Structure 1
Amino acid sequence: MERSLVSPLSHVDHPIAAPLSDGSVRTLLDRALPRGNERVLDLGCAEAAWLVCALTGRPGLRADGIDLSESAVAKGRAAADAAGLGDRLTLHTGDATTFEAPQPYDLVLCVGATHAFGGLLPALEAARGHLAPGGSVLVGDGFWEREPGPGTPAAGFEADEYADLATTVEKVSAAGWTPVYEHVSTWEEWDTYEWSWTGSLSRWALDHAEHPDAAEALRIARAHRDEWLRGYRRTLGFVTLQLRAPAS
């Protein structure tokens, strides 16, 4: 089963592709968009859930998003149009690492998509190239909440893939960024995200038992659930940082 098919199905119940509640997303956006007329870019926007939330209630806001998945971008456009926001949102299908922005942005988002750039610091360097003077970044990435156990490598993680939270913030600061706000995802947010991921994919497979990908979808959901429960639950944390751009 192609990954491009798995992601839309696994995020049906949780469009934000990260362990963040709707309330946390709104709080982060409220802090990052104080004027309500900013220009926003989402690098790795998936179905544009962050951008739709940002545009809602902010009639002066304009936004762009880019993602490799044609199906995700199409769903994002449909969601924006259904909410009456399509005239203020432009979504692009393509590689976020090579995206040439038409103008600088007041806020650049990269939440749960830093892997596309090779990690947290490279993602921040890419975001910096899109920022207007005085702009900020909302970036979300993993960190080790505690020392990885023996089950963590089996879940697909290397022990040195992340650092603890303090070291993560230190690395970001050493790269010239100033944190102005952060949100550490709660265990409830993690559990809601993971049960939604595995649950929606499993439900689709059970409801479409005759589909040629149904058995594979159930296998993927089961494997992901086992990796989470036995490998990284309450070990891998997730932090979303609002960072002010370094002075040029």
Structure 2
Amino acid sequence: MNRQTLSRIAHTHHPIAAPITDDSVARLLDRAARAGRGRALDLGCGEAGWLLRLLAARPAWQAVGVDLDAGALTKARESAQAMGLERRIGLHHLDASEFGAREPFDLVLNVGATHAFGGLLPTLAAARTHLAPGGTVLVGEGFWEREPSRAALDGLGAAREDYQDLAGTVDAVIADGWTVVLGHVSSPQEWDDYEFSWTGSLAEWALDNPGHPDSAAAREAADLHRAEWLHGYRGTFGFTTLLLRRTAA
């Protein structure tokens, strides 16, 4: 089973691909889309969960999503049609780093997909090229809640230097020319709900499709991920979603 298919199955019951509840998503979007109308761009949109929620709440907004996962974009289109939003969203099967637009956007999002640009600051540099004057960026990134153990690093497939603590993360963003106007730190409950949903959805799919050639691989991936989380990075790896505006033009 390829990584993209595995991720889609794992997010069946938690379409926001980050440890954030629907209430937290709604609060962040409410602040991010302050204006009565505007244009939003999600660089790494997946199934467009953020954009579809935004469009449903803001009838005068339009949106564009970019992602490399063709299957996720198909689901996004199906969801948009079911919600009557298909005319207000454009979806592009493209590497987010290669996307170009003629007009800037009032809101640029990248939540949990900074790896597409090689990290947090390169992601913000890319977002800046698409951002309209006075616009906002909503970015979600991991950080160290505490010094990571070897088991935590192995479970995440990460190096210590890949992330900073929360203070270091915010300091780096500010030093890069941004002002933090709102921040959300995912709670332990949000993390646990997300991880149990991720592993549970994958394991349940394997149980429901015993004859599928990828069934054993899906179950193995769920069991491995659960062990890496529970015995590795649980309580060590955090996640913050920051709403940013340019400090200076």
Give TM-score, length-normalised by structure 2. Answer: 0.98
The residue type equivalent to 1:245 in the other structure is R
Q: Which residue of 2 aligns with 1:137?
A: 137
Q: Deviations over 1:60-114 (max 9, x none)?
A: 0000000001110010011011001111011111100110123100000000000
C-alpha separation between the residues in 1 aligned to 2:144 and 2:153?
Answer: 13
Q: Deviations over 1:94-135 (max 9, x none)?
A: 100110123100000000000110000000000000000011
Q: Which residue of 2 aligns with 1:55?
A: 55
Q: Which residue of 1 aligns with 2:32?
A: 32
Any idea what SS the aligned residue of 1:151 has? Answer: helix
Residues 144 and 237, structure 2, Cα contact 8 Å, conserved in 1: yes
Q: Which residue of 2 aligns with 1:19?
A: 19
The residue type equivalent to 2:104 in the other structure is P
How many equivalent residue pairs?
A: 248
The residue type equivalent to 2:176 in the other structure is A
Q: Does 1:92 align with 2:92?
A: yes
Q: Which residue of 2 aligns with 1:234?
A: 235
Any idea what SS the aligned residue of 1:160 has? Answer: helix
Q: Does 1:182 align with 2:162?
A: no
Any idea what SS the aligned residue of 1:210 has? Answer: coil
Q: Which runs of 5 or more residues in structure 1 are unaligned?
A: none
Residues 63 and 88, structure 2, Cα contact 8 Å, conserved in 1: yes
Q: Which residue of 1 aligns with 2:128?
A: 128
Q: Does 1:154 align with 2:154?
A: yes
The residue type equivalent to 1:201 in the other structure is L
Any idea what SS the aligned residue of 1:64 has? Answer: strand
Deviation at 1:169, TM superposition (A): 0.4
Question: What percentage of residue pairs aligned between the two structures are identical?
Answer: 57
C-alpha separation between the residues in 1 aligned to 2:35 and 2:101?
Answer: 22
The residue type equivalent to 1:114 in the other structure is T
Deviation at 1:17, TM superposition (A): 0.2
Q: Which runs of 5 or more residues in structure 2 are unaligned?
A: none
C-alpha separation between the residues in 1 aligned to 2:36 and 2:70?
Answer: 29
More helix by share: 2
Q: Which residue of 2 aligns with 1:209?
A: 210
Q: Which moved more, 1:149-158 or 1:48-57?
A: 149-158
Any idea what SS the aligned residue of 1:77 has? Answer: helix
Q: Does 1:169 align with 2:178?
A: no
C-alpha separation between the residues in 2 aligned to 1:153 and 1:128?
Answer: 31
Q: Which residue of 1 aligns with 2:118?
A: 118
Give TM-score, length-normalised by structure 1. Answer: 0.98
Any idea what SS the aligned residue of 2:182 has? Answer: strand
Residues 152 and 158, structure 1, Cα contact 8 Å, conserved in 2: no
Q: Which residue of 2 aligns with 1:3?
A: 3
The residue type equivalent to 1:190 in the other structure is W
Deviation at 1:34, TM superposition (A): 1.4
Give the root-mean-square deviation of aligned CA atoms: 0.8
Displaced runs of 4+ in structure 1, greater than 4 A? none
Deviation at 1:247, TM superposition (A): 2.2
Residues 153 and 233, structure 2, Cα contact 8 Å, conserved in 1: no
Q: Which moved more, 1:123-132 or 1:145-154?
A: 145-154
Q: Which residue of 2 aligns with 1:74?
A: 74
Residues 37 and 58, structure 1, Cα contact 8 Å, conserved in 2: yes
